[in-house]
Amino acid sequence: MLAFQSIAKQTRLSVQSTSLALLMTLIGSAFIPALAEADKDRLVVMPFGGPKTTAIDADILWKAKTGMTDPTKAELASIPRNLSDLLNEKLAEKLGKSVVSSKELKQTLDDIGLSAAADKSSRQAELAKRLGSGYTLEGDVDRLEFDGNTVLSDKYVVIVSARLVKEGSASPVWKASAKRFYKKVKAAKGRAVSNVFIEEQLPEIAESLADEIAKALGR
């Protein structure tokens, strides 16, 4: 009798184990396509280009008041890249891990030996393959304007164009054409114009653009 009960118990355990294994297999097969599909929706923010044009008005009185000189070409050239990096961070806050980090993108570009200025079709195809990206955001700082004022606040203007494209589609999911951002900032002694752009204005621009993009993606 005891032997029969032991055999019955072992049989029940075997059936339960088999059922559990089958259930886990079914669950796994249901989730794998979903995860694979989600990977295809990763979003890449390419480094922004520009500025295409600039208008810097820092007169002698303003320079005497702040102790600063005109921003250099190199300082102004760093602004677009800073904007795309900030936009990447803001999008990651809103969309989570579906956004490819700037670090991962740079590493991938280095690995495949393609720069941001490489042939677009080749670059996009290779990035999509390696990163599993389904969306690409590209943009430019069209224009930077600065007007130093010795009495009132200084005026900072950034004009941006950008577009978000889904892989395989010619029409953008979202775009901004020559979008103008204006900000007044009180002049501070010893504070470079480029630093004010980067520290004061770019975070606001990145937040605004990230909001629009998230809404366009329905998130």
Using pLDDT thresholds of 50, 70 and 90, give the confidence band for residue 102: very high
Stretch 119-148: mean pLDDT, rounded?
89
Other Cβ atoms less than 10 A from the Cβ of 82: the count is 19
User: In whole angstroms, what is the distance from residue 57 CA to residue 154 CA?
Assistant: 10
**What are the tokens at 73?**
């070409």
Read off the pTM: 0.79
Using pLDDT thresholds of 50, 70 and 90, give the confidence band for residue 80: very high
Q: What is the rounded (10 degree) CA torsion for 171, 96, 200, 104?
A: -80
Q: How many CA atoms lie within 13 A of 93 on its CB side?
A: 11
Stretch 156-162: mean pLDDT, rounded?
98
Percentage above 70 pLDDT, the chain: 79
